[in-house]
């Protein structure tokens, strides 16, 4: 499991008090009429939350979402 973690394969945090998902539109950055590309922010949030695994306990079933337009 440590070798997987060293290679950015996260096997911990599928349940319990760990972040679950950071979501955004798969069309972020190319969608017509979007406000702005949220993908870099979603990636940064995901990386930050993953860095906390094993350090602190977060709210149960924490799920984070980013929207790039008023439609979503």
How do residues 6-42 score in pLDDT, each as one tens digit?
Answer: 887 765 555 566 666 788 888 788 878 888 889 999 9
The DSSP bridge partners found for residue 22 are 64
Q: Which residues contact 25 (CB under 8 A, 6 or more apart)?
A: 31, 34, 38, 67, 68, 69, 72
- Whether 31 is covered by a domain: the verdict is yes
- Whether 70 is covered by a domain: the verdict is no
Segments forming the whole domain that contains residue 22: 2-65
- Whether 71 is covered by a domain: the verdict is no
- Whether 35 is covered by a domain: the verdict is yes
What is the pLDDT confidence band of residue 68, given thresholds at 50, 70 and 90?
confident
Helix (H) / strand (E) element for 44: namely helix 39-52
Whether the per-residue pLDDT at 47 is higher than 70: the answer is yes
- Whether 45 is covered by a domain: the verdict is yes
Considering its fold, how many domains does the chain have in total?
Answer: 1
The residue with tokens 């069309």 is 27
Give residue 16's pLDDT: 62
- Whether 24 is covered by a domain: the verdict is yes
What is the pLDDT confidence band of residue 44, given thresholds at 50, 70 and 90?
very high
């Amino acid at each position: 499991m440590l070798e997987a973690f060293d290679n950015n394969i996260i096997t911990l945090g599928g349940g319990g008090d760990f972040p679950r998902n950071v979501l955004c539109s798969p069309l972020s950055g190319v969608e017509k009429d979007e406000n702005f590309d949220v993908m870099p922010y979603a990636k940064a949030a995901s990386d930050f939350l993953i860095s906390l695994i094993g350090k602190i306990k977060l709210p149960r079933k924490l799920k984070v979402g980013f929207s790039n337009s008023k439609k979503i």
